[in-house]
């Protein structure tokens, strides 16, 4: 059965629209691959400033993910299990960094942790600690924009848990912490892994909040996205090479999460 003529026309229109949409997304990526300096790519990626930016990006993105885990898991759990009206407000606050312009996030971080910020000023006056334009600022900026991805994944995972497993463990005498460690967390592990991977990838690619709050200091706060921005003005081939590196990381993340998304 081929369906009615109206259905076939709708299908053809949908196919045409989908083709245009896919082409719109694919064309810039194809242009990046076509214009890539393949012959000099190894040399571009081996430059000392690139190695320094890559090292800093990896260290800060992993540190940001490590910071997000103890913050995001309780938040995700609370959003999944709470029935109070405040849960909606909390969910809006948690997801706000996903839609907030990154430069606005950077300004907000400055006002909170800057030398005259709500938290930054007491830190500077009491302990002599200055956060802005440091590697710590990079970690905080990346964690701020990446945390919602972990929280959403954890919330979705908790909602899918079968409560009968915990109930069975409770009947057998397992205490809450033992049930958490031996039943809940192992069942939640796929969601945690997916959320942590997305969180890390978002932290690795962060630009706006980082350059606003941490600056673009080579060897200190210059991550790979910031290095792309700087190289685009002076060495376009270098910018393309770094963009390819970040593109490869993105594709790898998608490949890692593919099976998770298929089974969600």
pLDDT digits (tens, 9 = 90+) for 195-253: 999 999 999 999 999 999 999 998 899 999 999 998 888 888 889 999 998 888 888 88
CA nearest neighbour of 159 among 264, 80, 263: 80
Q: Print the domain residue range for 201.
A: 45-262
- pTM of the full predicted structure? 0.86
Answer whether residue 115 is part of any domain: yes
Q: Best-predicted range by mean pLDDT among 80-84, 118-122, 174-178, 181-185?
A: 118-122
Residue 167, pLDDT > 80, answer no
Evaluate whether residue 11 is within a structural domain: no
Is 39 inside a domain boundary?
no
The whole-angstrom separation of Cα 234 and Cα 240 is 12
The total of structural domains in the chain comes to 1
Torsion of CA 11, 16, 20, 25, to 10 degrees: 30
Render pLDDT for 67-113 as a digit per residue (tens, 0 to 9).
999 999 989 988 988 888 888 899 999 999 999 999 999 999 999 99
What is the CATH classification number for the domain harbouring 158? Answer: 1.10.3720.10
Residue 246 belongs to a domain = yes
Tokens (6 digits) for 22: 């896919």
Residue 23 lies inside a defined structural domain of this protein: no
Per-residue confidence (pLDDT) for residue 183, from 0 to 100: 75
Contact 156, 191 (CB under 8 A): yes
The reply to whether 170 falls in a domain is yes
211 within a domain of the structure (yes/no): yes
**Cα angle: 24, vertex 28, 32; to 5 degrees:** 160
How far, in Å, CA of 135 to CA of 64, rounded? 11
Give 182's pLDDT tier (boundaries 50, 70, 90).
confident
What is residue 185's predicted lDDT score, i.e. its pLDDT? Answer: 78
């Amino acid at each position: 059965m081929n369906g009615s003529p109206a259905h076939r026309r709708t299908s053809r229109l949908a196919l045409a629209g989908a083709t245009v949409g896919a082409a719109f997304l694919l064309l810039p990526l194809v242009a990046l691959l076509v214009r890539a300096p393949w012959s000099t790519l190894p040399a571009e990626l081996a430059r000392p400033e690139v190695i320094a930016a890559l090292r800093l990006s990896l260290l800060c993105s992993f540190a940001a993910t490590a910071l997000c885990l103890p913050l995001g898991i309780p938040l995700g759990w609370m959003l999944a299990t709470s029935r109070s009206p405040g849960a909606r407000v909390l969910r809006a606050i948690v997801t706000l960094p996903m839609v907030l312009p990154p430069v606005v996030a950077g300004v907000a971080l400055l006002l909170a942790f800057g030398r005259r910020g709500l938290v930054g000023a007491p830190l500077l006056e009491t302990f002599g600690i200055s956060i802005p334009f440091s590697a710590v600022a990079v970690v905080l900026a990346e964690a701020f924009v990446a945390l919602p991805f972990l929280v959403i994944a954890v919330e979705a995972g908790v909602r899918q848990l079968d409560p009968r497993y915990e109930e069975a463990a409770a009947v057998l005498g397992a205490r809450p912490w033992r049930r958490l460690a031996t039943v809940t967390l192992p069942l939640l592990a796929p969601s945690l892994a997916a959320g942590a991977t997305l969180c890390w990838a978002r932290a690795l690619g962060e630009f706006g909040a980082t350059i606003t709050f941490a600056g673009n200091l080579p060897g200190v706060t210059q991550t790979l996205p910031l290095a792309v921005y700087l190289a685009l003005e002076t060495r376009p081939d270098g910018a393309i090479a770094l963009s390819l590196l970040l593109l490869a990381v993105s594709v790898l993340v998608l490949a890692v999460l593919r099976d998770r998304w298929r089974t969600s």
